[in-house]
Each structure stands twice: as C-alpha cells, then as structure tokens.
Amino acid sequence: MFLVDLLFPNRCLECKRIIHPEEVVCELCFNQINFTHHHISESNLLTEKCRLLFPIENAFALMQFERQSTSQKIIHQLKYGRREKIGKIIANWTAEKLDFSHSKPDLLVTVPLHPKKLKERGYNQLHLFADELSKNLKIPCEHTLIKRNFYKKAQAKKKKEQRNFNENLFSITRNISNHHILVIDDVFTTGNTMSAVAWEILKAGDNKVSVLVMAMD
C-alpha cells in the first residue's frame, strides 16, 4: 500500500467508510443504488423516450439519476470532481448487465465536449468509460466521429434560434454508412442532446442508432 493511501484513504462517496482505492462506494451503499434493470434487447422507459425523438434500435440506462442519490454523487464526482477513473468502474458495472446477443452495435461513439470545455475540464468524462466498455464488449470505440460545433448552451437562445442551434449543434467528421452505432452519454434528461447526435448519424447514411447512458433523469 502506498503512503498516500495511508494518509488519504479512499472513502465511500455515500457513507465515508474507507474502501479499496479502485472502488467508489462500499458494498452496502452499492446495494442501495437504484439500478434500472433495463435489458438492451427489450423495450424500456428510455427506449420509449428516445422513440419520441428519433428512430432507435435499443436503449440502456444503468441507473436512475435521482436528486441527492448515490448515483448523482457518483456522476458528479466523475464530471466535476476530477475523478476520471470512476468512468472505468461504471463501465464494468454496465458491461455485466448488457446483452447484445440480438443486435450488437458495430461502433461505440461518445457525445463530445466542445474543445474549450474539454480544455477547462481536462478530460471528457465519457472517454475512459467508453474505452473500458469497448474492451469488455469487443466493439471498437471512436471519440472523434461527432464534433460539437458550439460552446454556448442552447438555453441561452431564443425559441426559434434555439431550434436552429440544436439542429446544428453537432456534425459528423467523416463519411459513415451501414453502421449500427451505440451513442454514449452520461445522463439522459430531456433527450435534446442525444437527439441532435442521433439525427446527424442517421442523416449521414443508412445507419442505425442505439443509446447507452450511465443514468436517466
């Protein structure tokens, strides 16, 4: 054990018990996480929400994103707490629950940050998560297929301007067709971001889209 582990032991995000350096919550708190129990090959609430916005093959959310919940604390630490390694932990949880025996994607892609936001944060919270999933699922992963075109949030736009903003928020960086693409994001809320990404993929060629998120609000 390293001296830093003795001086600054890793603690459970929920109950503050000392835990293994490669864990994020203790076993007791893990069992309190509200997992969705979605199955990728069956319809679920996330699939139904996505189908209102764009054509979709399958959708999967690992957790429910509830206010003040353990899942919220985990994702906030991943995004804002500079704990990128949490992405790898969540990926292993996710891989254990996925079954692509019916319709396995050809490619994993992540929702990108704008370069300015990436520089501010220092990392994209989805990259380590997606890379670990790629290894577990034996599906290639590409982080540069989708480009985010604007830095400002769409909420700052007026109604008509916001619609145009959402339509042009992302673009495809290369020609791609005849692919089943699994789009990965952290939290599904309104679905506007995921819809904007999905439509760019669908417009690019004869592609199919599935969705995977760490949590759904």
Is residue 63 within 8 Å of 36, Cβ to Cβ? yes
Q: Are strands 208-216 and 141-142 parallel, antiparallel or unpaired?
A: unpaired
The pLDDT score that the predictor gives to residue 132 is 97
H/E element holding 28? Answer: helix 27-30
How many angstroms separate the CA atoms of 129 and 115, rounded?
19
* CATH fold for domain 34-216: Rossmann fold (3.40.50)
Whole-model pTM: value is 0.88
Instruction: Give the residue carrying structure tokens 């760019």.
Output: 200
| Six-digit token string for 22 | 């490669």
Contact 91, 60 (CB under 8 A): no
In percent, the amount of the chain with pLDDT more than 90 equals 72
Mean local confidence (pLDDT), 174-192: 96
Q: What is the pLDDT of residues 112-143, one digit of tens each?
A: 999 998 898 899 999 999 999 999 999 999 99
Q: State the DSSP code for 209.
A: E
At 191, list the tokens. Answer: 């679905």
Query: Looking at residue 5, what is its pLDDT?
Result: 54
Domain boundaries, the chain: 1-32, 34-216
- Quick check: 165 pLDDT over 70? no
Q: What is the mean pLDDT of residues 182-204?
A: 96
Helix H or strand E encompassing 211: strand 208-216
* Residue 163 pLDDT exceeds 90: no
